[in-house]
């Protein structure tokens, strides 16, 4: 056996014996001096720690209170209230509701909804806050037993918290102990980690860890919060790094890289026959051993995008994970290449606007035909030329600095040279032939009024002035050329002489003529009795029935239209107020001048008693003063004449004499 191995064996044996003697001595002193607790400065691990064999963080939740701890874990009484009584505890995610005596705090880590154990200490020093049996340990292995503790009292310092950490064998033998001493109040809510480390004796695999009160409770006294109770291996210092410039612990590379990176670690003195095992946690799937990676360095090679964490696990000989320490994390992040989305709006025609679009990155660099470059994400090229057709390439760079390239092809077509017939005027109802040339395919718009909208020379018969646009294309390009022609429709002349009129001789009436059409002149015939035959609404004063014709003449030569109206002239009514039907041949009948021209008029005559003595429609035969063939007596009679023709009725009296 080598001399160094012998010396190490002797040293480890003496260290284990010393721990046993110290434990026995502390047990004896505790038994003899019951009321004088053992205190010491915190002895937290100064080397590297392993994964926690015990990790009590009390969980998290949305409710204010967590559940009670399992039976036997504590001999304090659970209550679901923000301020437990002496000898009670609660599991809670904030002490904000405890009042002004305690600090308002959340759990040690500040996790959303994270719970902590809040204790109002018992007056009994035999009560313990927390106890748990830990199994699967290794002998001759150093472990750290620790917890985060807060003195909750805001003002009182009469009897501050004082906590004893104890590690016992399963038979009750004390293997190690540590007392925090008085934990003083602070000026704010402060979490502090307390604990110690010790080495298990050879062959000891199971221990009991305990945290108990070493100071009596009361009001207000010894109120505290506990969180993150841990029991984990402790060992030499492991310094791990990635063997690149500056030996960092993190490295960002891009997907597809074929490079390998050396992970390396150094372990300080403390292990005689250390064993190494590199582990990987790929994309938070949990730690797994890397097969064959059992030296202090490892060549890592990854090309698939993801986050890969590495660490070196070290133990004394071939021991379980409960007995091994681990290095700090080495993280290799393989960033995915940007997923480039690239498009363009072609096919385009000469003179149109080209729109290039890309996505998936943080920055963009375009290149293309005709020495084109742009750093815009979505560049636009106005009024494209044929030289700008072809393949455009974009280099997309992600926020992590990874690049990817994509291409898109732009097609640009030329337009045929189009000739078209000129603007034309036609009379309403007439036709004209449109002419276009320069291509193979033609499409006129609008199609209304055309004989064939796809013909190069359609016949147009629009009902109103219309601008026709033709799209002309050829076989080599889908790009049409456009031109247009205006067909102006000249409206035909139309005449409307207006309604027929009636008047009494000697009066006047206004004609109501109207014309329409494009550039129309007009006149009336005959001109007799008209004040101005060139007006649409002249005044007529005829003395007999007459028919007037209105003529409308298209100045563009489209047509001449005419329409006629008639004026009916009635005689002027003269009604005598006396007559003498005595047979002398003079004034024997009631002769009303011009009444015979009102063929639809009605004449009624009444005596002074209101009796009807005469009635006639029209007045072809004047009244002779008789009633039913018998002469009426001399006297006054009354008449009512309805001329019809929308004229007012005439009434009055007549004197019949003989």
Secondary structure string (H, E, C) spanning 373-394: EECCCCCEECCCCHHHCEEEEE
Where is pLDDT greater, at 157 or 243? Answer: 243
Q: What is the pLDDT of residue 644?
A: 87
Whether the pLDDT of residue 2 is over 80: the answer is no
Start-to-end CA distance of the chain, whole Å, equals 186
Sign of torsion, CA 621 626 629 631? negative
- Measured CA to CA in angstroms, residue 348 lies from 288, 411, 513 at distances of 57, 6, 59
Strands 250-254 and 650-656: unpaired
**Domain 12-235 is in which class?**
mainly beta
Whether the pLDDT of residue 39 is over 70: the answer is no
The answer to whether residues 206 and 161 touch, using CB atoms and an 8 Å cutoff, is no
Phi, psi of 181 (to 5 degrees): 75, 180
What mean pLDDT comes out for the span 73-96? 95
Q: What is the pLDDT of residue 42?
A: 59
Whether the pLDDT of residue 252 is over 70: the answer is yes
User: To the nearest whole percent, how much of the chain has pLDDT over 70?
Assistant: 93
Where is pLDDT greater, at 257 or 588? Answer: 588
Whether the pLDDT of residue 13 is over 80: the answer is no
Q: What is the pLDDT of residue 136?
A: 94
The answer to whether residues 119 and 89 touch, using CB atoms and an 8 Å cutoff, is yes
From CA 540, how far away is CA 522, in angstroms rounded?
Answer: 17
- Which of 19-33, 399-413, 549-563 comes out lowest in average pLDDT? 19-33
- Which of 224-233, 437-446, 639-648 comes out lowest in average pLDDT? 639-648
Whether the pLDDT of residue 311 is over 70: the answer is yes
What mean pLDDT comes out for the span 473-497? 91
**Domain 494-570 is in which class?**
mainly beta
Options 3.40.50.150, 2.60.40.10, 2.40.37.10, 3.30.310.220; CATH of 238-335: 2.60.40.10
- Which of 1-5, 502-506, 516-520, 636-640 comes out lowest in average pLDDT? 1-5
State the pLDDT confidence band at 116, using cuts at 50, 70 and 90: very high
Q: What is the pLDDT of residue 463?
A: 94
Burial of 445-470, coded b for 16+ CB within 10 Å and e otherwise, reads eeeebbeebebbebebbbeeebebeb
- Per domain, the residue ranges of the chain are 12-235, 238-335, 341-413, 419-489, 494-570, 578-656
The answer to whether residues 380 and 356 touch, using CB atoms and an 8 Å cutoff, is yes
Q: What is the pLDDT of residue 95?
A: 96
Dig out the tokens for 595 from the structure.
Answer: 């009444």
The answer to whether domain 12-235 and domain 494-570 are alike in fold is no
What mean pLDDT comes out for the span 198-202? 93
What mean pLDDT comes out for the span 197-206? 94
Helix or strand run (H / E) with residue 289: strand 287-289
Q: Which DSSP string do the residues of 91-136 spell out, in sequence order?
A: EES--GGG-SSB-----TT--TTB-EEEEE--S-TT-EEEEEEE-S
**Domain 341-413 is in which class?**
mainly beta
Q: What is the pLDDT of residue 76?
A: 94
3-state secondary structure of 596: helix
- Which of 3-17, 30-44, 342-356, 421-435 comes out lowest in average pLDDT? 3-17
The whole-model pTM stands at 0.59
Q: What is the mean pLDDT of the chain?
A: 90
From CA 622, how far away is CA 594, in angstroms rounded?
Answer: 12
Whether the pLDDT of residue 59 is over 90: the answer is yes
Task: Give the Cα-Cα-Cα angle 437, 442, 446 (nearest 5 degrees).
Answer: 115
CB atoms within 10 A of CB 67: 13
Residues whose CB is less than 8 angstroms from the CB of residue 413 and which lie 6 or more positions away in sequence, other chains included: 347, 348, 349, 350, 476, 477, 478, 479
Q: What is the pLDDT of residue 35?
A: 26
Q: Give all strands (DSSP E) within 519-595, no chain letters.
A: 520-525, 539-540, 546-554, 560-570, 578-579
Task: Give the Cα-Cα-Cα angle 321, 322, 325 (nearest 5 degrees).
Answer: 70
The answer to whether residues 527 and 511 touch, using CB atoms and an 8 Å cutoff, is no
Residue recorded with tokens 């010396």:
7
Dig out the tokens for 172 from the structure.
Answer: 């009750």
From CA 299, how far away is CA 263, in angstroms rounded?
Answer: 6
Whether the pLDDT of residue 110 is over 70: the answer is yes
Residue recorded with tokens 């200490």:
121
State the pLDDT confidence band at 601, using cuts at 50, 70 and 90: very high
The answer to whether residues 441 and 435 touch, using CB atoms and an 8 Å cutoff, is no
CATH of domain 578-656: 2.60.40
CATH architecture observed for domain 419-489: Sandwich (2.60)
């Amino acid at each position: 056996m080598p001399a160094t191995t012998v010396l190490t064996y002797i040293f480890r044996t003496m260290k284990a014996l010393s721990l046993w003697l110290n434990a026995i001595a502390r047990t004896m002193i505790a038994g003899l001096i019951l009321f004088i607790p053992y205190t010491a400065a915190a002895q937290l691990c100064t080397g590297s720690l392993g994964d926690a064999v015990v990790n009590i963080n009390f969980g998290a939740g949305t409710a204010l209170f967590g559940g009670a701890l399992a039976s036997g874990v504590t001999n304090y009484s659970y209550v679901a209230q923000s301020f437990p009584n002496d000898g009670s505890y609660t599991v809670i995610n904030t002490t904000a509701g405890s009042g002004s005596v305690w600090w308002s705090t959340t759990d040690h880590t500040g996790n959303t909804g994270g719970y902590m154990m809040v204790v109002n200490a018992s007056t009994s020093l035999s009560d313990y806050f927390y106890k748990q049996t830990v199994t699967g340990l290794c002998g001759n292995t150093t472990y750290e037993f620790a917890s985060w503790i807060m003195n909750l009292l805001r003002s009182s310092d009469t009897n501050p918290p004082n906590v004893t950490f104890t590690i016992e064998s399963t038979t009750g033998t004390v293997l190690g102990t540590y007392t925090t001493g008085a934990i003083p109040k602070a000026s704010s809510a402060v979490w502090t980690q307390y604990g110690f480390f010790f080495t298990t004796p050879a062959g000891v695999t199971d221990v009991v860890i305990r945290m108990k009160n070493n100071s009596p409770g009361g009001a207000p006294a010894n109120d505290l919060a506990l969180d993150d109770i841990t029991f984990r291996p402790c060992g030499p210092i492991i310094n791990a790094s990635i063997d690149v410039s500056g030996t960092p612990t993190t490295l960002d590379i891009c997907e597809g890289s074929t490079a390998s990176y050396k992970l390396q670690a150094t372990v300080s003195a403390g292990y005689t026959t250390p064993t190494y095992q590199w582990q990987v946690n790929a994309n938070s799937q949990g730690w797994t051993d890397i097969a064959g990676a059992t030296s202090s360095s490892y060549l890592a090679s990854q090309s698939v995008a993801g986050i890969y964490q590495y660490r070196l696990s070290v133990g004394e000989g071939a021991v379980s994970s409960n007995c091994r320490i681990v290095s700090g994390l080495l993280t290799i992040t393989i960033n995915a290449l940007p997923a480039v989305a690239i498009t363009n709006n072609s096919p385009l025609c000469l003179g149109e606007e080209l729109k290039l679009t890309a996505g998936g990155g943080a920055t963009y660099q375009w290149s293309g035909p005709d020495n084109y470059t742009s750093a815009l994400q979505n560049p636009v090229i106005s009024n494209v030329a044929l030289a700008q057709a072809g393949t455009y390439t974009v280099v997309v760079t992600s926020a992590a600095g990874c690049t990817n390239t994509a291409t898109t092809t732009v097609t640009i077509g030329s337009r045929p040279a189009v000739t078209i017939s000129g603007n034309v005027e036609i009379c309403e109802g007439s036709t004209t032939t449109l002419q276009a040339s320069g291509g193979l395919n033609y499409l006129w718009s609008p199609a209304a009024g055309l004989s064939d909208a796809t013909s190069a020379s359609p016949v147009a018969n629009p009902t109103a002035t219309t601008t026709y646009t033709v799209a002309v294309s050829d076989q080599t390009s889908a790009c049409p050329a456009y031109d247009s022609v205006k067909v102006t429709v000249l409206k035909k002349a139309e005449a409307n002489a207006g309604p027929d009129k009636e008047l009494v001789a000697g009066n006047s009436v206004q004609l109501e003529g109207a014309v329409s059409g494009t550039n129309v002149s007009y006149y009336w015939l005959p001109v007799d009795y008209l004040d101005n035959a060139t007006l649409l609404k002249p005044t007529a004063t005829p003395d007999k029935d007459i028919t007037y014709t209105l003529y409308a003449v298209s100045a563009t030569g489209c047509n001449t239209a005419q329409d006629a109206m008639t004026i009916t002239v009635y005689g002027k009514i003269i009604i005598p107020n006396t007559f003498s039907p005595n047979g002398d041949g003079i004034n024997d009948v009631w002769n009303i001048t011009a009444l015979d021209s009102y063929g639809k008029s009605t004449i009624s005559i009444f005596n002074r008693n209101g009796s009807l003595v005469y009635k006639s429609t029209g007045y072809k035969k004047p009244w002779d003063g008789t009633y039913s063939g018998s002469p009426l007596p001399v006297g006054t009679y009354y008449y009512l004449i309805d001329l019809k023709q929308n004229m007012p009725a005439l009434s009055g009296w007549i004197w019949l004499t003989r």
